[in-house]
């Protein structure tokens, strides 16, 4: 397995998919989004998978998709916000590419996810509280997994992707 892939990790609303698409276009690479690959393979959307199989079932599907994508080369991969929870996933990403942690302020995360009904973990009375709780729990794990940490606040997807390219070139 060569280390040629780029994995974008971080919380829901960090901009992984939008930035990933721009980054892939800049680098002339293929873009993949683990959530979309899971949905294509399952033939169902993520809320349905959570309903029928629980979060545990979703995590199994997510790990299987990640390990397949990690066998390919030169991909830009936007991952689901919880992908770092499994240590195997962190190892798979490290072994097959660069891991970029996209951060954003809580206000930005709340704003960017506020109109979304497709994220089961945020269908609660107080999504802001949930975002804060998830971040408190996951931020150390994202940091441990990451080769680079990039703030996305008040920056265009193009600016963020150029920073990622620079960080990889300088590494």
CA–CA separation, 48 and 118 (whole Å): 10
Question: Of 74 and 120, which CB lies nearer to ligand S3P in the complex structure?
Answer: 120
> Whose Cβ is closer to ligand S3P: residue 13's or residue 97's?
13
CA atoms lying within 13 Å on the CB side of residue 135:
22
Q: Which C-beta is closer to ligand S3P: that of 120 or that of 147?
A: 120
Q: Which is nearer to ligand S3P, 121 or 168 (CB)?
A: 121
Helix (H, G, I), strand (E, B) or coil at 79: coil
- Quick check: helix, strand or coil at residue 7? strand
Q: Shortest distance, CB of residue 12 to ligand S3P, whole angstroms?
A: 4
CA distance to 33, 38, 49, 50, per residue, from 53 (Å):
21, 13, 6, 5
User: In the complex, what is the shortest distance from the CB of residue 81 to ligand S3P, in angstroms, rounded to a whole number?
Assistant: 3
For 86, the 3-state DSSP assignment is: coil
For residues 153 and 144, give the distance between their C-alpha atoms in angstroms, rounded to a whole number. Answer: 21
Q: Please state the closest distance from residue 170 (CB atom) to ligand S3P, in A.
A: 27
Q: Give CA–CA dist 12/6, Å, rounded.
A: 18
The residue among 1 and 121 lying less far from ligand S3P, judged by its C-beta, is 121
Q: Which residues bind ligand S3P (CB under 6 A)?
A: 12, 16, 35, 46, 80-82, 119-121
CB of 171 to ligand S3P, least distance (A): 25
CB of 102 to ligand S3P, least distance (A): 10
């Amino acid at each position: 397995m060569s280390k040629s892939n780029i994995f974008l990790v971080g919380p829901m609303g960090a901009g992984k998919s939008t930035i990933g698409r721009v980054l892939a276009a800049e680098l002339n690479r293929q873009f993949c989004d683990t959530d979309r690959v899971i949905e294509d393979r399952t033939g169902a959307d993520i809320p349905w998978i959570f309903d029928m199989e629980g979060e545990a079932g979703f995590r199994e599907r997510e790990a299987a998709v990640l390990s397949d994508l990690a066998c390919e080369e030169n991909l830009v991969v936007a991952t689901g916000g919880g992908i770092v929870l499994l240590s195997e996933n962190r190892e798979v990403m490290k072994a097959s590419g660069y891991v970029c942690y996209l951060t954003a302020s809580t206000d930005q995360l709340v704003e960017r996810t506020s109109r979304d009904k497709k994220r089961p973990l945020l269908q609660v009375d107080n999504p802001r509280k949930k975002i804060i709780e998830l971040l408190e729990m996951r931020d150390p794990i994202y940091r441990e997994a990451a080769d680079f940490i990039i703030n996305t606040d008040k920056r265009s997807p193009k600016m963020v992707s150029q920073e990622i390219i620079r960080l990889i070139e300088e590494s």
